[in-house]
Structure 1
Amino acid sequence: MNTVLYRGGTVRAEGAAPATAMLVDGSVIAWVGRDDVAPAADTVVDLAGALVTPAFVDAHVHCTATGLALDGLDLSTAGTLAEALRLLETQVRKDRGAAVLGHGWDETRWPEGRPPTRQEVDRASYGGVVYLSRIDSHSAVVSSALLAAVPGARGLPGFDESGWLRQAAHHAVRRVARETLSAGQRAVAQRTTRRRAAELGIGCLHEMGGPDISGAEDLRALLTLASEEPGPEIIAYWGALGGIDAARGLGAVGAAGDLFVDGSIGSHTASVHRPYVDKDTCGERYLERAATAKHIVACLESGLQAGFHAIGDAAIGFLVNECYADAALAMGERWPSRTRHRMEHAEMVDDQLIARMAELGIVASVQPAFDAAWGGRSGMYARRLGVERALTMNPLAAMQAAGVVLALGSDSPVTPLDPWGTVRAAVHHRTPGAGITAEQAFAAHTTGGWRAAGRTGEGALAPGAPATFAVWAGDAIAAGATLPALEPHGEPPACLRTVVRGVPIHDLEGALG
C-alpha cells in the first residue's frame, strides 16, 4: 500500500500543538508530527508552507439543483426584475426551446419589489416551459406551458394566477419540472456540484433528498455516481413522512432532512407565532402532530435518524414541545439517549427551545450565510418579521453555549458552496453577540457535520482517522496559524488539494508538484 508523507507545512492536528508533517497510509492517517522525526514514505509531498486541515462537511445541499444553477440560469446575480427577464430570454435562446429550470431570484433585492409574472415569463421564454425557483427554493414562478402540464395545480393550496406558486401547488409543479431533465443532464449537474465542492476543500456533502424536492431517482443516481467516481462523499437523507422503507432502499441514513414542517421566511411560509409585518399571515405548518410523533418513533425503532426542516418559532415549538414529547412518552425507557436527531435551519429559537433541543440531542444543521444575506436591522428578515424578531434569529452562540451540536452548511443553491465564507459568517454574525468563535465555527463545519450524521471519530487529523483533508495555500495564513484570519471581507485561501479517504479529488495545477 502506497504511503504519502506531507511535510514542510502546518498540520491542524487533533489534540496537539500544530505539527508540520503527516503520513497517509492508504485511506487512513498513520502519523502526525514534526518534519525532523517523520517516518519514511513511498512519496513525499513538499507543502512549502501550506496548511493542512480536515476537509469541510457541507451538512445541507441539493446537488442537482446546485449544478443546474452553476451551469445554467442563475438569477441570484440579477439586480432588477428587468435584468432577470433578459437573463431568462438569453437562456431560452441558448437552450433552443428546451425546458428552462432557473433559480435564485429575490424580489426583495430588486427596485421593482416583485417577482416576474407568469405573463412576463411567457413573453421572455416565447411560450416555453419555464420553472424559476425563488432564492429560498420554497416558491417559484412558472410559465403557462409548465402550468398546463399540471392542471390539478390550480386546486391546490398556494396556487396563484400570477404564476408565483407556494406550498402544495409549488411542490406539484416542481415535480413535473424536474421530470424534464434527462438522466444525462442530471449527471452533468451532479458532477458539476461535486467538482466545485472538491475545489473548495469540501470532502463530504449531506444530500437532502425527498419526494417533493428532488425525487427518488435523483437521489439514487447521485449515490450511484458517487460510488463510481472520485469526489466528495455523499451522505443521503430522504425527507418523507413515514418513508422508512424508502429511505432504507435508497441508502439514506435518515428519513429526515428536508421533511418540511414549514416553509421559509422569504416566501411567507415559515410557521411563526405572530403574523409577518408585511403580510397578514403566520405562515404554514405542513405536518400533523400524531403522524409526526409516529414518524420519530418509527425512525428510532428502525435505526434511522429522524429530522425535519423547521424555520419559524411555531414550527420548532410544535416539533420539540409536542411531537418529540409525544414520541418520548410513547417509547418510554426505550428512548435512546445517544441518537442524534436533526433539525434543519432552526432559525427562530429562544432559550426554552434551545434547552429542549439540547435535552433531546437534536443537532442544529444551520446556515450562517442566511444571516449574512438576510439578517440584521435592514435585511429581508427585518422587513418580513420586524427588527425585534429579526435580531433574535440564528442565535449560534446561545445554541453552542447550551450544548446543542452545530453542523454548518449552505443549503446550496440557496446560498453558494463557500465553506470559508460560512465560517466567516458564523463568526461575524450580523447580531452582536450571536456569533461563535472561529475555532467553534470550523469545528462545526468539519467534525460537526460528521457528528450530525452519527459518524463520530471523523473530521480530525489524527492517527487512525480517515485521510480526508484539504491543503490550503499558506500565503493567506499567518505563520504557524491553523486557521486563516477570516476578516469580514477577506479572501479565502486557495485550496491546493482535497483528499477523501486517501484519494485526491482535487489538485490545483502545479501547486504541489
Structure 2
Amino acid sequence: MSQTTPKRSVLLRNGFVYSPTDPFATAMVVDGDTVAWIGSEGAADSFATGVDEVTDLDGALVTPAFTDAHVHTTATGLALTGLDLSTAASLPDALARIRAHVAAHPGQDVLLGHGWDETRWPQGRPPTRAELDEAAGNRPLYLSRTDVHSALATTALLKRVSVGEPTDAPLTGDAHHAVRRAAHAAVTPAQREAAQRAARRHAASLGIGSLHECAGPDISSEADLTALLALAAAEPGPRVFGYWAEAVTDATGLDRIRDLGATGAGGDLFVDGSLGSHTACLHAPYADAAHSGAAYLDAAAIADHVALCTEAGVQAGFHAIGDAAVTAVTEGVRKAAERTGLARVRALRHRVEHAEMMTPATIADFADLGLVASVQPAFDATWGGEDGMYAQRLGADRARTLNPYAALLRAGVPLALGSDSPVTPLDPWGAVRAAAFHRTPSHSVSVRAAFTAHTRGGWRAAGRDDAGVLVPGAPADYAVWRTGDLVVQVPDQRVSNWSTDPRSGTPGLPDLTPGTDAPTALRTVVAGHTVFARPNE
C-alpha cells in the first residue's frame, strides 16, 4: 500500500487491547506502520507527550485486523453492486429480481448475477432456460450458483460459446468455465475497478485488513489479478495476497506465478468441485445422485505440481472438498515429498482450500505433511445440520463428519479462516461464531482458537509469522470495535461456555453466543494507515 501520509506515532488508551503479551492491556502505541508498545493505562502516561496523536478508546476493544484467507474480490464487488440472488426466497422471487435488474441496466452487454441456491427454494429447482430467457428479455445473462461451481446462462449468452447442445441443466465443468470466461470478458476495466474498490471498501468496514485473492484461468483472468494487486499497492485498503490456480508443469509456469506477483501457485486449483453442484469427488456415491462427483486432478498431477513448486521455493495449493479429492491431495503431496524431501515440503506450508470431508487418516496426513487447512466455517452454518444441504447430498451420517475443526487443531493442523466470498459473505465475526458453535458440536473450537485462525492463521498461511497479532514489532494492522462484555469462551457446549474470571490470564473476546450482537467496527488500520472509520465515532 502506498505511503500517503508522513510517519506518525499514535497512543491508543482507555480501552482493551487483545494481546498475548498482556491480557490486561488497555493501551497501545503505534509508530508508523509498526506496533511499538502495549501495556497498562498508568504506564501510558509516559507516552502521552511524546506521540503525534492520542486516541481515547472510550472502552473500545482493539484487536488484530482479520485476514480473510479465501476471497474472489471482483466477484464479491460485482455481487455487492449488481444482481445478488443469495437472499431470494423462491424461484418466482429470483425471476422477479432478474427482471428488475435487466430493466435497470439497459446498455450492459452481458448481465451478471450470483447466489441462487435451489435447495433453499420451495420449488426445489433452478429456473429453466426458457424461464431465464423470458426474465432476461432474451439478453445475455450469466448466473453463478452460490457455490460458484455451476451456473445458468441464457440462450443469448450460450450462442457466444461452443458448449455443445445446451439443456436446462446447470452448466458444470469445462462448459461452465467457457461460459464464465465469456461473461467475465464482457466486464469493462472500469466495471472491474469499481467492483474491486467496492469489495475492498466493504472488507475494511468489517475490520478485515488482508484478503487472500484466489484467482486463476478458470475463475477470473491474469488481467483481473494484476489489476487488483496494482490497485491494492496504489490505494489504501486491505492488503491483498494473490494466489494463481494453474498447475505448474515446467519453469514457464513458475515464471508466470512470479510475473503475476502471486504469493503462491494454488488457491482454487481444482481437484474437484462442490457438494451443492454434485461435483465434489467422493469415495462413495451421493445420497441423492447415482454418481460420485468429478475428479479434475489425480495424485500424479498433484505430485508433479507440488514437487516443482517445492523445488522452486513456491507455495502450492489446491481446492479439495470431497473425501476422494482430499485423499488425492495427501497422496500427491506424499509422492512429492518422496522426491524433494519431507522437510522442504513442510517448510512451504502448502495449502488445501475447503478440506471439508476429512477422515482420521487424511487429518493425520495434513499434520505430517505440514499442510494448512484454509476453511470456511460459514459453509457449516449455511449448509450443515440434520436437514441442510450437506445432509441432502450425503445423508445425515456422512454430513456429520464435515468440517472437523476440533480434530484438525488437536492434530496440530494450522487453520486459516475465510469466506470464499461471494459464496458466503464477508463476515469475520460470523465465521468465528460458526467455528465456535458448529452445527456438529464435537467439531467446535474455542472462540479464541477461531479468532486466532482468522487473524494470525491467515498470515501464517501466506508464510508470515510476524503478523496478525498485536505485539511490539508486529505490523500495525488492527481494528477498533464497539462491543459488549468481553469473555473467555471454550468450545465444550455441554458446560457453561464463557467465563469472566480475570485470574485466567487470558485476554477476553466479545461474547459470540448465538443470538448476541456481533461487534461493530469503528476503525480499521492497515500498516498504520486508517482505511475505514465509522462516521460520527
Coarse TM-score class (shorter-chain normalised): over 0.9
CA distance in 1, matches of 2:530, 2:119: 41
Match of 1:240 in 2: 246
State the 1:114 CA deviation.
0.5
Tell me, yes or no, if the aligned pair for 2:319 and 2:353 is still in contact at 8 Å. yes
Within-5 A mapping of 1:153-302: 153-154=163-164, 160-162=166-168, 164-242=170-248, 243-302=253-312
CA distance in 2, matches of 1:329, 1:4: 51
Residue 119 (structure 1) aligned to one of 116, 130, 135: 130
RMSD: 1.3
Residue 106 (structure 1) aligned to one of 112, 117, 124: 117
CA distance in 1, matches of 2:211, 2:190: 21
Q: Secondary structure at the match of 1:141?
A: strand
Listed one character per residue, the Cα deviations across residues 480-513 of structure 1 (whole Å, up to 9, x for unaligned) are 86311001122211100000010000001121xx
Match of 1:468 in 2: 477
Larger mean Cα displacement after TM superposition, 105-114 or 298-307: 298-307
Tell me, yes or no, if the aligned pair for 2:337 and 2:345 is still in contact at 8 Å. no
1:348 matched to 2:366: no
Listed one character per residue, the Cα deviations across residues 159-192 of structure 1 (whole Å, up to 9, x for unaligned) are x511510011101110111001000000010001
Listed one character per residue, the Cα deviations across residues 114-150 of structure 1 (whole Å, up to 9, x for unaligned) are 1111111110111101000000000000011110000
User: Closer, same or farther in 2 for the Cα pair 1:464/1:332, shift >3 Å?
Assistant: closer
Tell me, yes or no, if the aligned pair for 2:345 and 2:369 is still in contact at 8 Å. no
Listed one character per residue, the Cα deviations across residues 453-502 of structure 1 (whole Å, up to 9, x for unaligned) are 01111111111111000000144646986311001122211100000010
State the 1:88 CA deviation.
0.4
Listed one character per residue, the Cα deviations across residues 80-102 of structure 1 (whole Å, up to 9, x for unaligned) are 01110110010000011422110
Listed one character per residue, the Cα deviations across residues 241-280 of structure 1 (whole Å, up to 9, x for unaligned) are 1142221111001110100000000000000011001111
Match of 1:8 in 2: 14
User: Closer, same or farther in 2 for the Cα pair 1:333/1:103, shift >3 Å?
Assistant: closer
Q: Secondary structure at the match of 1:164?
A: coil
State the 1:325 CA deviation.
1.9
State the 1:35 CA deviation.
1.6
Match of 1:148 in 2: 159
Tell me, yes or no, if the aligned pair for 2:22 and 2:39 is still in contact at 8 Å. no
Q: How many residues align?
A: 505
1:130 matched to 2:156: no
CA distance in 1, matches of 2:400, 2:169: 32
State the 1:333 CA deviation.
6.8
Tell me, yes or no, if the aligned pair for 2:18 and 2:63 is still in contact at 8 Å. yes
Q: Which amino acid aligns with 2:106?
A: R
- With normalisation by structure 1, the TM-score equals 0.96
Q: Which amino acid aligns with 1:471?
A: V
Within-5 A mapping of 1:87-106: 87-98=97-108, 99-106=110-117
Match of 2:371 in 1: 362
Tell me, yes or no, if the aligned pair for 1:472 and 1:495 is still in contact at 8 Å. yes
Tell me, yes or no, if the aligned pair for 1:18 and 1:482 is still in contact at 8 Å. no
Listed one character per residue, the Cα deviations across residues 374-416 of structure 1 (whole Å, up to 9, x for unaligned) are 0111100000110000000000000010000000000000000
State the 1:36 CA deviation.
1.3
Tell me, yes or no, if the aligned pair for 1:49 and 1:474 is still in contact at 8 Å. no
State the 1:16 CA deviation.
2.2
CA distance in 1, matches of 2:527, 2:430: 25
CA distance in 2, matches of 1:447, 1:485: 20
Tell me, yes or no, if the aligned pair for 1:342 and 1:364 is still in contact at 8 Å. yes
Gaps of 5+ in 1: none
Q: Which amino acid aligns with 2:519?
A: P
Match of 2:535 in 1: 509
Match of 2:526 in 1: 500
State the 1:343 CA deviation.
0.2
CA distance in 2, matches of 1:32, 1:409: 28
Residue 448 (structure 2) aligned to one of 427, 433, 439: 439
1:25 matched to 2:31: yes
Listed one character per residue, the Cα deviations across residues 273-294 of structure 1 (whole Å, up to 9, x for unaligned) are 1100111110000013332211
- With normalisation by structure 2, the TM-score equals 0.92
Q: Runs of 4 or more off by more than 6 Å in structure 1?
A: 478-481
Q: Secondary structure at the match of 1:491?
A: coil
Larger mean Cα displacement after TM superposition, 330-339 or 80-89: 330-339
Q: Secondary structure at the match of 1:171?
A: helix
Q: Which amino acid aligns with 2:451?
A: F
State the 1:18 CA deviation.
2.3
Residue 377 (structure 1) aligned to one of 380, 383, 386: 386
Match of 2:492 in 1: none
Match of 2:401 in 1: 392
CA distance in 2, matches of 1:438, 1:50: 19
Within-5 A mapping of 1:389-468: 389-468=398-477
User: Closer, same or farther in 2 for the Cα pair 1:347/1:26, shift >3 Å?
Assistant: same
Within-5 A mapping of 1:61-76: 61-76=71-86
User: Closer, same or farther in 2 for the Cα pair 1:59/1:334, shift >3 Å?
Assistant: closer
Q: Which amino acid aligns with 1:189?
A: A
- State the identity %: 55
Larger mean Cα displacement after TM superposition, 37-46 or 106-115: 37-46
Larger mean Cα displacement after TM superposition, 238-247 or 211-220: 238-247
Tell me, yes or no, if the aligned pair for 2:345 and 2:370 is still in contact at 8 Å. no
Larger mean Cα displacement after TM superposition, 434-443 or 10-19: 10-19
Tell me, yes or no, if the aligned pair for 1:60 and 1:410 is still in contact at 8 Å. yes
CA distance in 2, matches of 1:476, 1:116: 46
CA distance in 2, matches of 1:336, 1:82: 51
State the 1:324 CA deviation.
1.2
Tell me, yes or no, if the aligned pair for 2:334 and 2:369 is still in contact at 8 Å. no
